[in-house]
Structure 1
């Protein structure tokens, strides 16, 4: 990664409208789960051990809820509003478990644009391929701020 190369910023608050939507499809693979478990040192057998999970009411391994949160926060950073955004708060619930190998569809919708607070409210809903809701909630997001290009004032001291 180039450290001093400026990345393109996401959309500014005046470029975002109530009702905008984003739909994202993800599939969590074994490699993703292993990376998460290794990174967090989470040893919950319900997340990785098929034989253990088969003896529980879940019957199969689950995707850790924190991974679902990672997917939604990544969508904010990449797409809505995009690079330079900051999540101020999030309220989420997990009505149903998300199982390994399920294809997940996430829907995001801009519910409010509050320009005086430089804040947008995004509603989110994630479903598995059986149409079960696995995550739902809202996020308060601060879109990227506008700033003057570095070259714009470069020679002011001379």
Structure 2
């Protein structure tokens, strides 16, 4: 299976992926990355923070953008070149996050796409905002 080539993609085209963030997701991410920040893994510590409870890693949440790019738009064969991110709000265990990408620029000569990337929680609140640059698969 191969994703869409640049010629098959239109400006304004969108795709999304939705996932509920679980405690297991956070602990697995912490284990893989070594990021054991107590704001993520220690409930007693987290109670004393501005968030009042444990939060998911921002990079775990933003990783859902990679899922959209790799699986849906452009899809399998896509090469991720660049991503800028702004973390706008915390994500708590049990939040359902929708990552969405939207094609905002095409450079057919260089086979590059610029995409708006955004993650929202179940209430529609933006938790991550940014832009990505990718190479879609060649036809």
Indicate if the aligned counterparts of 2:68 and 2:100 stay in contact, CA closer than 8 A: no
Q: CA RMSD in A?
A: 1.2
Q: Look up the SS of the partner of 2:109 in the other structure.
A: helix
Q: Which residue of the partner structure matches residue 55 of structure 2?
A: 62
What is the aligned length? 139
Q: Which residue of the partner structure matches residue 96 of structure 1?
A: 89
Q: Which residue of the partner structure matches residue 105 of structure 1?
A: 98
Larger RCO, structure (CA 8 Å, separation 6 or more): 2
Please identify the structure whose Cα radius of gyration is greater.
1
Runs of 4+ in 1 over 4 A off after TM superposition: none
Structure whose residues are more often strand by fraction: 2
Q: Which residue of the partner structure matches residue 14 of structure 1?
A: 7
Deviation at 1:131, TM superposition (A): 2.8
TM-score (structure 1 length as normaliser):
0.83
TM-score (structure 2 length as normaliser):
0.93
Q: Which structure 2 segments of 5+ residues have no match?
A: none
Q: Look up the SS of the partner of 2:81 in the other structure.
A: strand
Q: Look up the SS of the partner of 1:116 in the other structure.
A: coil
Q: Which structure 1 segments of 5+ residues have no match?
A: 1-7, 147-158
Q: Which residue of the partner structure matches residue 41 of structure 2?
A: 48
